[in-house]
Structure formats: C-alpha cells, structure tokens
Structure 1
Amino acid sequence: MTKTLPTRSLGQLDVPAIGFGAMVLSPGMYGEIDDDRGVAAIRAAIEAGGTFLDTSDAYGDDGHNERLVGRAIRGRRDEITLATKFGLAVPEGAEAHPLQVGFAFEELLVNAEPKYIKGYAESSLRNLGTDVIDLYYLHFPDPQVPIEDSVGAMAELVADGKVRHLGVSNVTPQELRRAHGVHPIAAVQTEWSMWRPVDPELLEAARELGVGVVPWSPLGAGFLTGTVERLGADDFRNNAPRFDADSLAANNASYAALQTLAADLGITRSQLALAWLLHQDAAVVPIPSSRTPAHIEENLAAAEITLHPDTLARIDAVLARLEPVGATLLQDAR
C-alpha cells in the first residue's frame, strides 16, 4: 500500500512535502545503471509516498530519463504528480545558445524560442506516455530570448490542456518576477542545500509571489549523506572541484560535525539535511535522488521529522562555521 506523506503547496499545486528526482537513474550520472534498477527505484519512491516525480528531456540520451519514468508509472498515472523540464535538449535544426552559467564538465546549450516549445512538450508527453504534464519547467532561461516570450508560449500549453502548471528553474529573482507577470508560476527550482545556500532575494521573491521553491541537489549531489569517500571513474561528479580527492577529504572532515547532530536526534545525516530544508519555509519541497530503495524510503521519511527551534538554532550555528572547499557543478549561481 502506498504511503501518504504530508503535503505542501507549490502555487495552486499540492504535492508531497518531499519529491523524488529521477536524474541519477540514467547512465552517465553516478555511473552505469540498467533500466530495471531505475524503474525499481521510481516504484520504491512511489510506494514510500514520493509521488511527486521530477525529470527532464535532457537527462540521459534521447529522452531516456523521461521514458524511464513513463515506464515506471504505467498504470499508475493518476497517483503521480509529474514534473519535467525543457530547453537543454535542443531540437535538430534549432540554434543552440550558450548559457552564461554552466556546469564544470561541459558547456550548457539552450533554446527556449517560442516556436520550439510546443514541440518540446509533445516530445516529453510521448516519452512519458501521458497526455498532460502536471508541472512544466523552463530548465534554464535562454540568454537570447526574453523570458516573457518563453513563458508566453508555455502558457499556450496550459490553454491547450497539455500542461497544468508552469515552473521556471535556475532563474534570477528578476527573471522569476518577469515570468510570473506573464503567467502564474507554481514553482521555481534552484540549487539549495546545507552546502549551497539559496539566493535570499530569490526566496523573498518566491514568498511575495506565492511561488513554491523546489531545491535540486538538496543532499549536495550525495555528499551530505556522509557516505561519499571516493567516486567511480565514470561518475559525472568527478568534474566538480568540490569532489576532487583533496577537496572531498577536506569537506568530509569538516562536515563530520553534522553526524553528531544527526546522531543526537536519532536520524540519519540525509534526513537531517532534508528536514532542515523543510523547516526553512512552508513552501519548500526538495527532490532528493537515489538509486537504492532503502535510501529512498529513508529520505522520504524526513517529511515527518519535526525540528525544535532550539535544534534549528544549533544546526545553523554549526553550518555557520563550515566553509565547503571547491565549487559545485553549477559554476556560477544565478
């Protein structure tokens, strides 16, 4: 029987307080993985209450991650709140626009011209095996296209019944306000965790506009679990300065202080990191990733953890003393 988690609101969309990010279930992220294991992970998330699933047309080759999610939810679509993103899987014949921000291991290219947006959505619908996307994000704003134009084309998808709610990802506070001025934005996705602070102006803008905040990489690409001591050769995190051997050793040594906090509370480090995020704002819904059912269940159980104000003050005092070594994958925060 599927567990029910506490819910939170992203704009007018109600979702479980913790979702599930499917990105790491495609090969080339945390090393190789077969589709059967990926499907099993998604289904474990669903059974544990993580029915808010997050993917993108850019995760894996040729829409692999979306197709994997579609396979996993076949016959259970009505239980799922389905979120995906567009813009980085630039269609053939479209001009690829370099982003002014990027990941350490590659240049990110985007095209969010209005004339391509219906095609992006229709491709995702086919990959996911559904006739509607619950939450559709602009993955990154296109530096050559006003965000108002991109969101205007996304709004047409809502009018056509292909999409229910709109989101934006990796935007500045100003871009969020401009996007919301065109069509209500349900959620903004941004990198945020105990080792990557959120832009306070973005959080303020989201609060003012009634936009939910969906932190991606809420466990610091796995670092905050306390279990990452070395990476395999085919792990994309090798490209992040924060995960090189010396930086990782230094970060593990300093962030070991979190283990004492978690042990005192009788929870895991992952649960501490997620519960702390949930206590930052009532409209925060993190989307942790994992390939292991036991870890997925552990992560989702954090939705039911209450941290006393004194405990939160103690956590914040520890975090204030910690300074991570090296940059994360996203080199320039927006």
Structure 2
Amino acid sequence: MEYTELGKTQLHVSRMCLGTWGIGGAGWDLYSDECRMDAIKAAVDCGINFIDTAPAYNGGRAEKYIGQVLHKLGVRKEVILATKCGNEFINGKYIRCGAADKIMRECEESLHNLKTDYIDVYLVHWPDPNVPMEETMDALNTLKKQGKILHIGVSNFTKEQIEEAEKYCDIEVYQPQYSMVDRKGEQLIQWAYAQRIGVMTYGTLGGGILTGKYRELKAYAVNDNRNRFYPYFKEPLFSKVMILLRTMDQISMERNVPLTQIALNWALQKPFISSCIIGAQSRDKIEENCKVFEWKLNSDEIQLLEQALKEYTECMDEL
C-alpha cells in the first residue's frame, strides 16, 4: 500500500480508499452481509486506512456495516472515515437536503451508525440549489466547532460552487468522479489540487465497465446504478468503451494483470489525485485491487491507452 497527505488536512491516507456505495446494497449486485463485512475487514488487512461512505448508501446501511466491523476489530482510531451529508435515500430515491437542521440530524445518525464520536472528513454529497450555501456551510462549521467532524469537504461541486462554499468555511477535500471514461472534471481537479485541496476520486472503474466483466450490451433494472447513474453501459458510449477494452486486453496479456489494475494504475499515476475510491464487495476483489501497487504502467503503455481514448473522448464530448 502507498500513503500520502490528503491536501492540507495533515491526514496520512492510503492512496486506495474503500468505497461503500455497493456495500450498502442498493442499486448494485447482491452480496451477503457476511461477504460485505468481510470486504471491509479485507481492506483493513491490506493496509487501506481510508474508507468512504454516506448515509445515502441504502439509508445508512453501509455506515452500519463499517461501524460494526471497525468496532469488532478495534481499529477505529487507525482508520480515517469520510462520510457525507445533504443527500438522503428515501423510498428508493436520492433526495438532496442541504438545510442546516437536516445536516445536524444526519451527522448524529452517521455518528451512531459508525459507532464513533467523530468523523474525520465530512462532505456535502451534492449541492442543494434550494438552500443558501451559507446555511449549509454554517452547519458544518458548527459541527466542526463541536468536534463532531474534523475536516470539511464537498463532492460533485463545480468550481463556482466550491468558491462560493469557501466564502463561509475552509474546504479541505474534494470528491469528484474521475476515470479513463470520465475525464470531464480533470481541469477542475487540477485546480483543486493546486489549492492544496485533497482530491479523492470516485468511479475509477467506471461503475465496473473498466473491469472487462461487461462485454455485451444488456438492459439493467430501472434503479440499477449501471442504468441510472453511469452512461457507459448504453450506446453510443458502450461500443466506444469496448474499443478501449481491446487495448487494455493487450496490456493485460503482456503484463499478466487484470484490467482492473490497469484502470487503477492509470488513475493512480495522476499526481493531482490523493486517493482513488474503489468500490468492492468481496475480499478477493479488494486483495486483487491492492496488488496494483506492485507495478506501474510505463510511458509506452500510457500512450497506447491515450490513443485508444481519443475516439471515446470525442464521442463523449458530443453528448
């Protein structure tokens, strides 16, 4: 495992962060409770000391899994927890809620679920256009003064929204989506990094499309995140990703590594990324992902990937 400073927070985090949207169990493949909790333990066993979650991940279920495992292992103080506010999962729908009273309530619920009395990194999950930014950020400032959260961050914000938020509090962490198949926020990520804001990116595997597991176009349930959130599982992007996968297959055969590690390796070599969030629900996948630190893509391989990405990027720009 590799570790780095998370921007100006002075937190020393693993460069791989365990994402728990899937572990929450809503909109993803089904795994047993035992498998999900063992995945969290596997992350700790592999040296991952950074875990990302949110109350919106199936109504707090992901937080509860994390709280149970860390409490049982007795490693809460060794693990840096990031959770979120401002987005609730109600009756199968995600509802933004940036009001101060709701944030205060969400924080209390997260502390209870996680079996802890403080949260290392507290992120606004999505901006709420119906609530003044000042109200949302003042609530976070209050929680920080109370010692319930240590560092404040935002997720899925634009540059303008980050600058507006910074009028009211110090933004220390930014969580955007970023991967080979979603680079639209790269300029903003580089700007955040230049401001010494720690960057933790999600969607590194494109919702799973970059693992090579999905080679045939198929329909997913309405609430499945591969249908609802990630656009790569539909045309016209699906066919373009398949072209990219052929180049990844070539590198995979020559290196004898899975496609997953190629996608992770590509992202981890970006100097402006502090930590990549990887969602996995089983021990074997986490252990396989962590082997990415045993090797690095060389310049020729990166160039091959960039060439393969040109056609895909042009297609995405047209959408």
Fold match (TM-score > 0.5): yes
2:225 matches 1:228: no
SS for the counterpart of 1:19 is strand
Whether contact under 8 Å (2:67, 2:114) holds in the other structure is: yes
Task: State how 1:182-197 maps to structure 2 within 5 Å.
Answer: 182-197=168-183
- Determine the C-alpha separation between the residues in 2 that align with 1:188 and 1:247: 27
2:64 matches 1:67: yes
**Which stretch has the larger CA shift, 195-204 or 185-194?**
195-204
Q: Residue 248 of structure 2 corresponds to which residue in structure 1?
A: 258
**Which stretch has the larger CA shift, 4-13 or 291-300?**
4-13
1:47, distance to aligned residue in structure 2 (A):
0.6
Q: Residue 78 of structure 1 corresponds to which residue in structure 2?
A: 77
- Determine the C-alpha separation between the residues in 2 that align with 1:81 and 1:284: 14
SS for the counterpart of 2:232 is helix
- Determine the C-alpha separation between the residues in 2 that align with 1:261 and 1:65: 35
Paired residue for 2:45, among 37, 47, 54? 47
Structure 1: unaligned runs, 5 residues or longer = 92-105
1:114, distance to aligned residue in structure 2 (A):
1.9
Q: 1:305 to 1:282 in 2, by over 3 A?
A: farther
Q: Which one-letter code corresponds to 2:297 in the other structure? A: L
SS for the counterpart of 1:286 is strand
2:286 matches 1:302: no
1:232, distance to aligned residue in structure 2 (A):
8.6
Whether contact under 8 Å (2:189, 2:272) holds in the other structure is: no
Whether contact under 8 Å (1:255, 1:322) holds in the other structure is: no
Paired residue for 1:313, among 291, 300, 303? 303
Whether contact under 8 Å (2:87, 2:96) holds in the other structure is: yes
Task: State how 1:73-152 maps to structure 2 within 5 Å.
Answer: 73-74=70-71, 75-89=74-88, 108-152=94-138
SS for the counterpart of 2:181 is coil
Q: Which one-letter code corresponds to 1:260 in the other structure? A: Q
- The alignment's C-alpha RMSD in Å is 2.8
- Determine the C-alpha separation between the residues in 2 that align with 1:124 and 1:107: 19
SS for the counterpart of 1:255 is helix
Q: Residue 101 of structure 1 corresponds to which residue in structure 2?
A: none
Task: State how 1:162-311 maps to structure 2 within 5 Å.
Answer: 162-229=148-215, 235-239=224-228, 240-244=230-234, 248=238, 251-311=241-301
Q: Which one-letter code corresponds to 1:73 in the other structure? A: L
SS for the counterpart of 2:275 is coil
Per-residue CA deviations over 1:94-150 (Å, capped at 9, x if unaligned) read: xxxxxxxxxxxx874211112322211111000111000011100001101232331
Q: Residue 11 of structure 1 corresponds to which residue in structure 2?
A: 8
1:319, distance to aligned residue in structure 2 (A):
1.8
Paired residue for 2:20, among 19, 22, 25? 22
Percentage of matched positions with identical amino acids: 28
Per-residue CA deviations over 1:8-53 (Å, capped at 9, x if unaligned) read: 4233222101111011012232232221111011111111112211
**Which stretch has the larger CA shift, 312-321 or 126-135?**
312-321
SS for the counterpart of 2:278 is coil
Q: TM-score scaled to structure 1, two decimals?
A: 0.83
Whether contact under 8 Å (1:177, 1:205) holds in the other structure is: no
**Which stretch has the larger CA shift, 147-156 or 43-52?**
147-156
Whether contact under 8 Å (2:41, 2:69) holds in the other structure is: yes
Matched residue pairs, number? 311
**Which stretch has the larger CA shift, 308-317 or 291-300?**
308-317
Paired residue for 2:312, among 307, 322, 331? 322
- Give 1 or 2: higher helix fraction: 2
Q: Residue 38 of structure 1 corresponds to which residue in structure 2?
A: 36
Q: Residue 95 of structure 1 corresponds to which residue in structure 2?
A: none
1:172, distance to aligned residue in structure 2 (A):
0.1
1:247, distance to aligned residue in structure 2 (A):
5.8
Whether contact under 8 Å (1:165, 1:186) holds in the other structure is: yes
1:254, distance to aligned residue in structure 2 (A):
4.3
Q: TM-score scaled to structure 2, two decimals?
A: 0.87
1:289, distance to aligned residue in structure 2 (A):
0.9
- Determine the C-alpha separation between the residues in 2 that align with 1:310 and 1:255: 17
